[in-house]
Chain A
Amino acid sequence: MLYIDDGKVVGIVTQITDEAIKLEVKIGGTIKSFSQVKFIQSRYKYLPIVSKSDLDEINNINKMCTVDFVGLPFVTSQDDIIEARTVLGDEFKGCKILPKVDSLDAVQRYAEILEEADGSIFQRNELQWEFHAEKLVVA
Chain B
Amino acid sequence: MVKLFDAGMTMARINLSHGTAKENIQLLNKYKQARRLRPYMNCALMIDIRGREIRMSHNDEKGGIIRVRSGSQVSMIGGSFKQASDASTFRIN
Chain A residues in contact with chain B, CB under 8 A?
Answer: 4, 9, 11, 14, 19-39, 44, 47-51, 53-54, 57-58, 60-61, 64-74, 98, 100
Beyond A28-B70, A31-B65, A33-B56, 20 additional contacts (C-beta under 8 Å) are A11-B74, A19-B77, A20-B77, A25-B72, A28-B69, A28-B71, A30-B68, A33-B64, A37-B55, A37-B76, A37-B90, A48-B52, A49-B51, A51-B50, A57-B49, A67-B47, A68-B11, A69-B45, A71-B49, A73-B49
Contact B70 A23 (CB under 8 A): no
Contact A34 B55 (CB under 8 A): yes
Closest to A28 in B: B70
Contact partners of B16 in chain A: CB under 8 A: 54, 57-58
Contact partners of B14 in chain A: CB under 8 A: 61
- Count of interface residues, chain B, beta-carbon cutoff 8 Å: 52
Most chain A beta-carbon neighbours within 10 Å: one of B53, B57, B59: B53
Q: Say whether, besides A49-B51, A65-B45, A36 and B17 are in contact (CB < 8 Å).
A: yes
8 residue pairs bridging A and B, Cβ less than 8 Å apart: A11-B74, A24-B72, A31-B59, A33-B57, A33-B58, A39-B54, A67-B47, A71-B15
Chain B residues in contact with chain A, CB under 8 A?
Answer: 11, 13-19, 21, 24-25, 28-29, 31-32, 35, 44-59, 64-78, 81, 85, 90, 92-93
Contact partners of A24 in chain B: CB under 8 A: 71-74
Contact of A74 among B46, B53, B55, B77 (CB under 8 A): B53
Min Cβ gap B31→A in Å is 7
Contact A69 B72 (CB under 8 A): no
Q: Say whether, besides A22-B75, A25-B69, A68-B44, A34 and B18 are in contact (CB < 8 Å).
A: yes
